[in-house]
Amino acid sequence: MIVDLPSTNISKVNKKLVQLRESGGVLALGRVLTLVIITDDGATTEDAIDAANEASREHPCRVIVLARGYREAAPRLDAQIRVGGDAGASEVIVLRGYGALADNGAAAGMVMPLLLPDAPVVAWWPGDAPDVPAEDEVGRLAQRRITDALACADPVAALAQRRVGHRAGDTDLAWSRLTFWRALLATAMDAPPFEPITHVTVVGERVSPSADLLAGWLAARLDAAVERRPATTGKGMVSVRLERASGPIELVRPDGRVGRLSQPGQPDRLVALARREVRDCLAEELRRLDPDEIYGAALAGIGRVADLDAPVSAPTLATSS
């Protein structure tokens, strides 16, 4: 069910929520958190709501969407409440502010009366985000702050700003996209012969915050030189090569779907390594509300990575001899 409330105010939105709860049996009980989505009104707003609805099936929550409208318009607040089948396992409140209500300064005032009592708050910027999310008006209300450098107009500059403005509780979906890569590499390094890694080469799309973060993570965790190189083909992460005395560990994904893990003395293994959807990354980030120290270390480790311009061609998935 979708209820539109044009030219309204937050008090009326709250009253309508109570009315829906009492008359239709829509309950706020069992909601584990409040997810606040901050974005500009447009086509991407619905994409963000769809991702939140899918993630809410694992984490039932109240979703508040601040869809900032035209700042040149007369001050006005249009609201929309979505419950039932239109809201996944959550209840969605879309607030479209115009004029002065589209400014960041008004955002926290609109959000606070709608927060679930005694429930943690997570803020998510699916597009461009503040330079320091923790100092944003809404960011101050949140225990966790999620950004997405890849979705920004300039992903490279966005990731650089994440390093400068990082605070405990910050994370980025570019980091969540690496979960399977990190798990496979960690498992491979935990197997015999337990030799030290001497050199690391990370190959990815030239503009790939995830590739930069993976290189930073390896630089922070290993006592080895780490190079980050652009790939001639492929999207996002393409390959990682870890050099050691007995031979290299190599994880290659040239097609964005299937990867090949190669280790000395073992047959090559094909692994499912498809590029992750935003909804999956968001659901993963909502599983934890404590600071992600490893993500912070990966951001810091980027400064130790040698960024080389010479492009690298990824091997194919044909089994090597």
Summarised one tens digit per residue, pLDDT across range 127-167 is 999 999 999 999 999 999 999 999 999 999 999 999 999 99
Q: What is the pLDDT of residue 310?
A: 67
**pLDDT bracket for residue 318 (50, 70, 90):** low
Q: Say how far apart CA 222 and CA 197 lie, in whole Å.
A: 7
Tracing tokens 């997810």 back to the chain, one arrives at 35
Nearest alpha-carbon partner for 231 in 255, 249, 248 = 255
The C-alpha angle with vertex 259 and arms to 253 and 260, in degrees rounded to 5, equals: 110
pLDDT recorded at residue 293: 96
Say how far apart CA 148 and CA 212 lie, in whole Å.
Answer: 14
Task: Provide the pLDDT confidence category of residue 321 given band limits of 50, 70 and 90.
Answer: very low
pLDDT band of 316, cuts 50, 70, 90: low
CA–CA distance, 192 with 188 (Å, rounded to integer): 9
> What does the pLDDT read at residue 95?
96
* DSSP label of 304: G
pLDDT at 315: 64
pLDDT tens-digit readout, 211-259: 999 999 999 999 899 999 999 888 899 999 999 999 999 999 988 899 9
| pTM greater than 0.85 | yes
Residue with tokens 């002065």, as numbered in its chain: 100
- CA–CA distance, 20 with 3 (Å, rounded to integer): 10
Residue 179 structure tokens? 């979960």
Q: How far is CA 146 from the centre of its chain?
A: 6
- Across-strand partners of 214? none
Nearest alpha-carbon partner for 182 in 77, 273, 318, 300: 273
Residue-wise pLDDT for 162-188, tens only, equals 999 999 999 999 999 999 999 999 999
Q: What is the mean pLDDT of residues 86-100?
A: 85
Query: pLDDT for 279-315, tens place per residue?
Result: 999 999 999 899 999 999 999 999 999 988 767 766 6
Report how far residue 184's alpha carbon sits from residue 188's, in angstroms, rounded to the nearest whole number.
6
DSSP string, 139-182: GGG-SEEEE-GGGSSSHHHHHHHHHHH--TTEEEHHHHTTHHHH
Q: How far apart are CA 312 and CA 159, in angstroms?
A: 23
- AA letter at 232: T
